[in-house]
């Protein structure tokens, strides 16, 4: 969806108009019929409410939508304004209208407020219809342009920054939504190279032979059952001081997860195309940072594999040697994400000496049992880093909830024949997974592990997304960079 800023106070001729309305503050200049209709339908301007009517002015009938922005002084004002923008896209995306005028005057909005409305509209208007060849006309997206009128001073410049963020969120959604026969390790890399071209990001790719030479036995063990070779994708953005060590974002990129020999149940296995949601979030974040020219040094690393159960696949009971030299008894081949991450994190630390490491992974079903689809889990060896990420989550809407780490949990993954095993008992499954990853973090390196299993895919529409990929993680990491790396 394109956002187009129109000079002057009036909407383009013959265009439907949406007006932003604060709660319990219906505009005094409303047409009498539209006003009465709004009252009759109990429209009060609550966040996300929408009332549609028609106005006859000068012999021309104009379609008018009143869109609720919630209370003007609400603590969650930005969230309410995003819901207002999202309501517009949800209503008119497939309405037949090619363009809609969005009137931002009269609601006392600041430039930041206006941008929140636009971001909500842009994100809620995203869809991937590549493979839907027989959609009825009334279901096809028609709304191509929002024509913004009455924008507060500074809105257009502020939107240029948020548009870059929207690009990143949409790229993450695209990667997660594509089927596994389209996005696999090699094609994930190719898609990222294409999308990041010309942004100033440096890209490095490791293939299977290079990973073998480096001793990445843990990651390669996961990949050995697939005919599709694994990849490490590194994306480097140097927008900060030359003296600043980068912060590293490391994403789990299992492009399809059958569970391997520890095969998953057939029902619902199609969802495992989104088991690369952590890697997608990292790639989307890097695109956003580069497009908005973030003043920070960041490296994004994706460990990309496909977990399949063929005759060459890793067996339960196998012992592999990680790049760090630590050995792992593979008890369950469906606990594969941590096996990918440990080598990706080791390589990242050796290659880039990051100031901090933050990994994102759709790691455990136990996290969904714990938190549902409202928060992702965070584990960290550094209280300051954890607090910064939780704050960024609250500010961005990509919320986090902290879980414990400790020696008692760590003992649960000790192995009788190797340095560790890749799973502990059923209880505390998300915690023992985090304890496993922590064993590969260099001493003194601040680290946080984000288990985003319940957040990258939605079975019903949310605040700024339709059913499907949410793009979770991009806004969180971007906000963390803005607040704590850019100053």
Per-residue pLDDT tens for 316-373?
999 999 999 999 999 999 999 999 999 999 999 999 999 999 999 999 999 999 999 9
What is the structure's pLDDT at 57? Answer: 77
The pLDDT of 431-440, averaged and rounded, is 98
The pLDDT of 364-389, averaged and rounded, is 98
Question: Of 127, 191, 245, 264, which one is the catalytic site residue?
Answer: 264
The pLDDT of 253-278, averaged and rounded, is 98
pLDDT bracket for residue 15 (50, 70, 90): confident
Sort 68 into a burial class: Cβ within 10 Å, 0-12 / 13-18 / 19+. buried
Largest separation between any pair of C-alpha atoms in the chain: 85
Indicate whether 13 pLDDT > 80.
no
Percent of residues, the chain, with pLDDT higher than 70: 99
pLDDT bracket for residue 405 (50, 70, 90): very high
- The domain made up of 163-484 has a fold known as Aminopeptidase (3.40.630)
The pLDDT of 452-474, averaged and rounded, is 97
Contact between residue 312 and residue 225 where contact means Cβ atoms under 8 Å apart: yes
Mean pLDDT is lowest, of 85-94, 100-109, 212-221, for 100-109
In whole angstroms, what is the distance from residue 306 CA to residue 211 CA? Answer: 15
Indicate whether 60 pLDDT > 90.
no
Q: What is the pLDDT of residues 31-42, one digit of tens each?
A: 999 999 999 999
Closest CA to 100 of 81, 79, 83, 125: 125
- The domain limits of the chain are 2-152, 163-484
Phi, psi of 193 (to 5 degrees): -60, -40
DSSP 104: -
The pLDDT of 391-399, averaged and rounded, is 98
Q: What is the pLDDT of residues 140-186, one digit of tens each?
A: 999 999 999 999 999 999 999 999 999 999 999 999 999 999 999 99
pTM, two decimal places = 0.97
Sort 277 into a burial class: Cβ within 10 Å, 0-12 / 13-18 / 19+. buried
Contact between residue 264 and residue 334 where contact means Cβ atoms under 8 Å apart: yes
What is the structure's pLDDT at 254? Answer: 98
Closest CA to 50 of 93, 9, 84: 84
Indicate whether 242 pLDDT > 70.
yes
**How crowded is the C-beta side of 56, counted as CA atoms within 13 Å?**
2
Classify domain 2-152 at the CATH class level.
Answer: alpha beta
State how far the alpha carbon of 478 is from the alpha carbons of 160, 241, 295, 354, 413, in Å. Answer: 15, 18, 12, 17, 33
Indicate whether 9 pLDDT > 70.
no
Whether 46 sits among the annotated catalytic residues: the reply is no
Whether 264 sits among the annotated catalytic residues: the reply is yes
Indicate whether 8 pLDDT > 80.
no
State how far the alpha carbon of 310 is from the alpha carbons of 130, 185, 260, 332, in Å. Answer: 30, 18, 8, 16
The pLDDT of 461-467, averaged and rounded, is 95
Question: Of 292, 338, 388, 482, which one is the catalytic site residue?
Answer: 338
Q: What is the pLDDT of residues 104-146, one digit of tens each?
A: 998 899 999 999 999 999 999 999 999 999 999 999 999 999 9
In whole angstroms, what is the distance from residue 146 CA to residue 119 CA? Answer: 11
What is the structure's pLDDT at 43? Answer: 97
Q: Do domains 2-152 and 163-484 have the same CATH topology?
A: no
The pLDDT of 83-110, averaged and rounded, is 95
* DSSP alpha helix (H) spans, 260-332: 277-291
DSSP 152: P
* DSSP alpha helix (H) spans, 397-448: 407-410, 429-438
Instruction: Identify the sign of the CA torsion 193, 248, 224, 431.
Output: negative
Of 8 and 289, the structure prediction assigns the larger pLDDT to 289
Instruction: Identify the sign of the CA torsion 390, 394, 399, 401.
Output: positive
Q: Average pLDDT of the chain?
A: 96
Contacts of 268 (CB under 8 A, 6+ apart): none
């Amino acid at each position: 969806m394109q956002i187009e800023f129109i000079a002057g106070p009036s909407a383009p001729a013959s265009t439907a108009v949406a007006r932003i309305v604060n709660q319990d503050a219906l505009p005094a200049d409303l047409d009498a019929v539209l006003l009465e209709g709004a009252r009759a339908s109990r429209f009060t301007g609550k966040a996300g409410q929408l009332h549609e009517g028609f106005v006859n002015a000068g012999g021309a009938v104009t379609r008018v939508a009143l869109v609720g922005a919630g209370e003007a002084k609400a603590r969650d004002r930005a969230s309410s304004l995003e819901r207002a923008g999202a309501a517009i896209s949800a209503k008119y995306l497939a309405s037949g209208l090619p363009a809609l005028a969005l009137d931002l005057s009269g609601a006392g909005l600041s430039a930041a407020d206006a941008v929140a409305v636009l971001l909500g509209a842009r994100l809620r208007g995203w869809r991937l219809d590549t493979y839907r060849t027989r959609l009825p006309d009334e279901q096809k997206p028609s709304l191509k342009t929002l024509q913004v009128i009455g924008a507060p001073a500074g809105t257009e410049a502020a939107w240029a920054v948020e548009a870059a963020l929207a690009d990143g969120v949409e790229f993450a959604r695209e990667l997660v939504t594509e089927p596994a026969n389209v996005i696999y390790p090699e094609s994930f890399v190719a898609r990222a190279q294409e999308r990041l071209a010309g942004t100033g990001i440096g890209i490095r790719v490791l293939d299977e032979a290079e990973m073998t030479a480096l001793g990445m036995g843990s990651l390669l063990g996961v990949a050995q059952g697939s005919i599709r070779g694994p990849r490490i994708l590194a994306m480097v953005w140097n927008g900060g001081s030359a003296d600043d060590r980068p912060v590293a974002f490391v994403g789990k990129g299992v492009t399809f997860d059958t569970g391997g020999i520890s095969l998953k149940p057939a029902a619902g296995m199609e969802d495992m195309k989104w088991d690369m949601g952590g890697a997608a979030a990292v790639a989307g974040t890097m695109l956003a940072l580069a497009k908005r020219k973030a003043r920070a040094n960041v490296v994004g690393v994706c460990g990309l594999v496909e977990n399949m159960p063929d005759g060459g696949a890793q067996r339960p009971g196998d012992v592999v040697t990680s790049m760090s030299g630590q050995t792992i008894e593979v008890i369950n081949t469906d606990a594969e994400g941590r096996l990918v991450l440990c080598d990706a994190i080791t390589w990242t630390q050796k290659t880039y000496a990051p100031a901090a490491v933050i990994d994102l992974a759709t790691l455990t079903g136990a996290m969904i049992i714990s938190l549902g689809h409202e928060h992702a889990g965070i584990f960290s060896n550094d209280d300051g880093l954890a607090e910064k990420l939780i704050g960024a989550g609250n500010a961005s809407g990509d919320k986090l909830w902290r879980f414990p780490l400790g020696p008692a949990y760590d003992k649960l993954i000790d192995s009788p024949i190797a340095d560790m095993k890749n799973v502990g008992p059923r209880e505390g499954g998300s915690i023992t997974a985090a304890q496993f990853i922590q064993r590969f973090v260099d001493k003194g390196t601040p680290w946080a592990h984000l288990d985003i299993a319940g957040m990258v895919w939605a079975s019903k529409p949310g605040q700024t997304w339709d059913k499907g990929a949410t793009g979770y993680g991009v806004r969180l990491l971007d906000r963390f960079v803005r607040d704590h790396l850019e100053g």
